[in-house]
Amino acid sequence: MKRLITTAVLALMALAVTHAIASAQDATEVMKKSHMAYYYAANDAVYEVTMHLFDKKGGERTREFTMLRLDKEDGGDQKYYTYFRQPSDVARLSFMVHKNATGNDQRWIYVPSVDLVKPISADDKNSSFVGSDFTYEDVSGRRWTEDNHKLLPESQLDGKAVFVVESTPLKPYKGFAKRISYIDQTTHIPLKSEYFDDKGEVVRVEKAVKIEDIGGFPTVTSRSMESLKKGSRTVVDFTGTKYNVGLKDDFFTERYLKTPPREYVK
Amino acid sequence: MKKGITEFSIRRPWLVIILAVAVTAFFAAQFPKIKIDTDPLNMLDQNEPVRIFDVAAKDAFALHDFIAVGLVNDKTAFTPDILNRIYRITAEVEKIEGVIVEDILAPATVDDIKQGPGGSLIIEPLMGGEISTPAEAEYIRERIKSNPILRGKLASDDGKAIALFVPIQSKDMSNRIAGEIKTITDTHGGGEKFHIAGLPVAQDSFGAQMFKQMAVAAPATFLVIFLLLFLFFRNVKIIIAPMVVAVMAVVWAMGLLIVTGNTVHIMSSMIPIFLIPIAVLNSIYIISEFHAHYAGHRQKEAGIRHSIHELFVPMLFVSATAAVGFLALAITPIPPVRVFGIFVGFGTLAAWFLSLVINPAFMMLLSDKTLARFAQATDDRGLLSRLLHFFRTFSSRHNKGIIAASLIVVVISAVGLSMIVVNDNPVKWFKKSHPIRQADMAMNNHLAGTYMNYLVFEGENSEAMKDPAVVTYIESMQGELAREPIVGATTGLPDVVKKVRYELFGADSSKLAIPESADEIAQMLFMFEMSGGDPGDLFKFVTPEYDKANLWVQLRDGDNQAVTKVVERADDFLAAHPLPPGINVSWAGLPYVNVIWQKLMVGGMREALLIAYVIVLVMMTALFRSFRWGLISMLPLTITVGAIYAFIGFVGKPYDMPISVLSTLTLGLSVDFAIQFIQRMRTMYDRNRDFQQTYHDIFEGVGRAIMRNVLVISIGFIPMLFSDLVPYITVGAFFLAIELVSGIVTMLLLPALARTFRRGLFPAAAPEAVAAEPSQAQA
């Protein structure tokens, strides 16, 4: 009898442990899939982007740019190219990022008024992207391997079944102390992400406002980020998104910063 | 009315006391609802343009009041150990509730733009983590020194001082947050001393401190007054009444202030100490009169009736004039001063009424045995009598000399008054030895300053601030302001543009200039936002719409005089160099707001004082039914106010908020003795028609009461001289000066005038009734 109980207890414990491990694995798997669906759709992409920056008082600034993306491999290195049209006084200013999936990114900026290309080595991925509520990392993605993930009870969001994943950075990180992501169970698109500071308060909330199917890829065509403490909010609208257009690696070089590839950047 | 009140107190002493206690209890019950407000902005009316603009500017540029935390080390503050501790302190400070984390300025939080390997541009935190070598520490110092946005602000050029600026959600958190910061610096501190400074801390701490001081000063004053009264009257039971009257008057005034929804400001916190002397004065006259009468007649009720009868009119006028002085403050443009004036005025009248009813009621409750002992106690052969004798003989012998001396004093006073310097700085409301003053001195000696003003440039449309003409204009204004010695640093849009441009061109000094095209300016600023610069940092200097720009003007000195000099320099520059078309410029910031309310206050006080002066003159003329006597009665107060303020002018003590408020108190208190002296002298003469007799008796009668008051009030407030807060010391010193000067002037000049102009002032034939009240009732 005694032995039976011991065995049962041990079995239950083993079950609990394996379940926990499985859960962690599941959570990481969910986050990886989500990362792929969100940041690595197709091999390349062209986006027409309008960014609305709302400040605390409701004042609005807009930025319009074309963004090109080329993946080296799924989940690996990527190249981004951004060409600004609005505001008009920064028209023709362009910006390039070589994203290193496992190390530091490389960035270049072209300043048309002085006709100068300047490398920028900002290690701080947590800094604001062109003054918006999005960080550089929000734009190009935070690799799933940098955080610990844990599945929370599944839930519903906007009528969709979602995985709820709690992520905590492996290394202390200024960007957030904890993040909770709500990930669509079918498309793996993150519908909502909440970023917490070390006081346990929500600081930023990202939402997928509009999701469309483009060329078979579920694509967020409008996303918003709200900074709760600052009271500011940024809404990004993507129009005319095209996938697998056959972008050349050559476009993502200094030369094209000055003279953008006209077939994609009008 | 007077008879009714007196008779009621005589017949129903218990009822009077119970009623008074009940009313007092009602007002005391309001105390928990007290609202304290130490925000200097509330010195100004809601609709005051400078206030509206200050709020709008803070809103437009997301500016917050801040606490400056500094460390000064005689050798260098740039050692790995100190910097690492500051790094850890910063992390702790970020956790404090109410701190605006993203706006903290500290080595760990500010971004540095610099050259990286391969001609790249790096933007990274100045101090990204803890460091280990002196070379790293020295490198951080160099980076601060070479960055116009940080230089002088974050560290002194010599590296002896480091500062953190901690913005806070609202000013009324300053004292609490400063306390929490101190706890943090204490736990992380080595041998170095951390300073905590800034106007918000000074002003908020003052609010907290004044209540503590009140809790010490008020009881100490009470105790000293109680002891002095005991010395005079040698009877505890009889002197309880004045103390009760004082407490009740204070509770009534403060209770009414609270129940009517008014907030207790720095000014109104002084109501209790203003009311105590006023309340005690009345009672001392009554007790003195009663004492003299009872000693002769041994009749309690008759003694009370006699005292009230003799004193009713002078007391009414004394209280009314004091109340007028305070109520005149209601016309000033400073809301807290208006509240102060109205409620201290109410308290004055309450004190008058209470002393009329409480003193007789208490006397009724005393047994004949107690009173008999009280009557025996005299200080006839004491110091007081010798003093009175001196006044009597001196004023009689040297009457003309006294008048001549008074004239000389008036002339000298006029000179002193012209030397008065109007100046104020709330930090200096603390004693030099106070940590806040120490912090202020240490940090402003080394760094660019703890006082922040803002010069706001406003354009008519968005993008106006990208115009090279505008940016260049701001730059030249910076150059001009920097020539003022107290300007520690100016920081603005031109600095950001120049710094980005300089770094973009590979740290090329020739590029440290404003570009000629608006597009280039726009792109430099965009670069700043692109390359990881916090947009929040940029929008402290320009609005996101680029229609307004904000020049931070950091001052090492918050004295209104010094701030005014900076403002005047800017005005001169604006006059000589017209602004680009469509651009306007205005000041914001606490030091500037302080300058404006001081201006309003000084002007308003002057007006209130003049009006009160005229009203008091009219009242005196009515009381004495003689313009001549009216004028004479104004002399002691005129000379007292003149001499005290002339003294302030001569010694160069700045005419600040407390001193300007005290002018009305001086007026009210110093007319008191003159009224008592003249009224009683004339009544006496009216009865005995013998000038010599009157001259002799007046010193014994009212003279003794006046001397008692001089001693009680001037000595009673000496505990305040030991306060940590300068305004309290000032108040204590004023009571001393008012009582001594007006007492001596009353006791010397009035009899000297009476003797010299005796024929005109005391006609031999029976004149018309002397007092407002008929005086047939001989006791």
Q: Residue ranges per domain, chain A?
A: 5-258
Q: What is the mean pLDDT of each run of 10 residues along chain A (266 residues)?
A: 70 63 71 86 88 85 90 86 88 88 83 87 73 84 86 86 90 87 89 89 91 88 90 90 86 86 78
Predicted pLDDT of residue B449: 85
Name residues whose C-beta falls within 8 Å of residue B322's C-beta, 6 or more positions apart in sequence.
B278, B348, B667, B668, B669, B671, B672
Is the predicted pLDDT of residue B763 greater than 90, yes or no? no
Range in A137-146, B351-360, B487-496, B767-776 the model is least confident about: B767-776
What gap in Å lies between CA A167 and CA A137, rounded to an integer? 15
- Beta pairing partners, A182: A164, A192
**Which residues on B lie below 8 Å from A112 (Cβ)?**
519, 523
pLDDT in tens, A6-38: 777 766 666 666 555 555 558 888 888 888 888
Q: Which residue of A has its CA nearest to B524?
A: A111
Question: Strands A178-184 and A160-169, how do they pair?
Answer: antiparallel
pLDDT in tens, B707-753: 888 888 888 888 888 888 888 888 888 888 988 999 999 999 999 99
Q: Do B121 and A121 touch (CB under 8 A)?
A: yes
- Distance from the Cα of B129 to chain A's closest Cα (Å) equals 12
Instruction: Identify which of A225-239, B25-39, B431-445, B501-515 has the greatest average pLDDT.
Output: A225-239
Q: Which residue of B has its CA nearest to A114?
A: B520
Q: Which residue of B has its CA nearest to A198?
A: B95
**Which residues on A lie below 8 Å from B123 (Cβ)?**
120, 122, 124, 127
What gap in Å lies between CA B205 and CA B210, rounded to an integer? 8
pTM assigned to the model: 0.82
For A10, counting Cβ atoms within 10 Å of its Cβ (0-12 exposed, 13-18 middle, 19+ buried), the class is exposed
The side-by-side arrangement of strands in the sheet containing B487-491 is: B487-491, B548-555, B451-458, B584-588
CB of A52 within 8 Å of any CB in chain B?
no
For A163, counting Cβ atoms within 10 Å of its Cβ (0-12 exposed, 13-18 middle, 19+ buried), the class is buried
| CB–CB contacts below 8 A, A to B | 94
Range in A214-223, B191-200, B370-379, B748-757 the model is least confident about: B370-379
Cα angle A9-A13-A15, degrees, rounded to a multiple of 5? 115
**Which residues on B lie below 8 Å from A111 (Cβ)?**
504, 523, 527
**Which residues on A lie below 8 Å from B465 (Cβ)?**
none
pLDDT in tens, B69-79: 888 888 888 88
Number of neighbouring beta carbons within 10 Å of residue A215: 12
- In the predicted model, what is the mean pLDDT of chain B? 85
What gap in Å lies between CA A150 and CA A168, rounded to an integer? 9
Predicted pLDDT of residue B650: 93
Question: Token digits for B588?
Answer: 């914001």
- Nearest CB neighbour to B523, from listed A93, A122, A136: A93
Angle between helix axes B726-756 and B657-688 (nearest 10 degrees) is 30
- Nearest CB neighbour to A123, from listed B59, B124, B523: B124
pLDDT in tens, B403-419: 999 999 999 999 999 99
What class is the A5-258 domain?
mainly beta
**Which residues on B lie below 8 Å from A121 (Cβ)?**
116-117, 120-122
Of the candidates B447, B453, B443, B435, the one whose C-alpha atom is nearest the C-alpha of residue B560 is B453
pLDDT in tens, B284-337: 888 888 888 888 888 888 888 888 888 888 888 888 888 888 888 888 888 888
CB of A174 within 8 Å of any CB in chain B?
no
Predicted pLDDT of residue A60: 86
Question: Token digits for B455?
Answer: 């010069």
Question: Token digits for A29?
Answer: 């798997």
Q: Do A89 and B62 touch (CB under 8 A)?
A: no
For B152, counting Cβ atoms within 10 Å of its Cβ (0-12 exposed, 13-18 middle, 19+ buried), the class is buried
CB of A117 within 8 Å of any CB in chain B?
no
Give the pLDDT mean for B24-32: 90
H-type alpha helices, B455-530: 468-481, 493-504, 518-530
Percent of chain B past pLDDT 70, that is, above it, reads 96
Is the predicted pLDDT of residue B201 greater than 50, yes or no? yes
What gap in Å lies between CA B333 and CA B329, rounded to an integer? 9
Is the predicted pLDDT of residue B217 greater than 70, yes or no? yes
What gap in Å lies between CA B212 and CA B190, rounded to an integer? 31
The full DSSP string for chain A is -HHHHHHHHHHHHHHHHHHHHHHHHHHHHHHHHHHHHHH-SSSEEEEEEEEEEE-TTS-EEEEEEEEEEEESSTTS-EEEEEEEEESGGGTT-EEEEEE-SSS--EEEEEETTTTEEEEE----TTSBSTTSSSBHHHHH---GGGEEEEEEEEEEETTEEEEEEEEEESS--SS-SEEEEEEETTT--EEEEEEE-TTS-EEEEEEEEEEEEETTEEEEEEEEEEETTTTEEEEEEEEEEEE-----GGGGSHHHHHS--TTT--
pLDDT band at B182 (very low <50, low <70, confident <90, very high): confident
Q: Which residue of A has its CA nearest to B466?
A: A89
